[in-house]
Amino acid sequence: MNQPLIIFDSDGVLVESEPIVFKFLVEHCAASGLEISSEQAYEAFLGKPIADIARVAGETFGHEIAPIELLNFQIKLLTAFRTDLAPVEGISTALSSINLAKCVASSSNMARIRRSLSLTGLEDFFGEHVFSTDLVARGKPHPDVFLHAAHVMGAAPEDAVVIEDSPAGIKAAKAAGMRVIGYYGARHAAPAKLKDRLASLEPDLLIDDMGKLPHAIQTLMAKTH
Residue bearing the bigger pLDDT, 32 or 197: 197
Which among 110, 106, 114 is positioned nearest to 172, based on CA atoms? 106
User: Cα separation of 16 and 187, whole Å?
Assistant: 7
DSSP state of 208: S
Of the given ranges (1-5, 19-23, 99-103, 142-146), which has the lowest mean pLDDT?
1-5
Is residue 49 within 8 A of residue 16, CB to CB? The reply is no
pTM value is 0.88
Residues 6+ apart with CB under 8 A from 16: 85, 86, 87, 88, 186, 187
101-106: strand order across its sheet: 130-132, 101-106, 5-8, 160-164, 179-183, 205-207
Instruction: Specify the CATH number for 18-84; select among 1.10.286.10, 2.60.120.10, 2.40.50.140, 1.10.150.240.
Output: 1.10.150.240
pLDDT in tens, 161-200: 999 999 999 999 999 999 999 999 998 888 888 999 999 9
Please check whether the two domains, 5-16+86-222 and 18-84, share a CATH topology: no
Report domain extents, the chain: 5-16+86-222, 18-84
- CB 155 within 8 Å of CB 4: yes
Q: Which CATH architecture has domain 5-16+86-222?
A: 3-Layer(aba) Sandwich (3.40)
Residue 223 DSSP SS3: coil
Q: Measuring CA to CA, how many Å separate 19 from each of 25, 39, 100, 175, 186?
A: 10, 11, 30, 27, 9
43-89 confidence digits (pLDDT tens): 988 888 877 888 888 899 998 877 777 788 888 888 999 999 999 99
Q: What pLDDT sits at residue 1?
A: 53
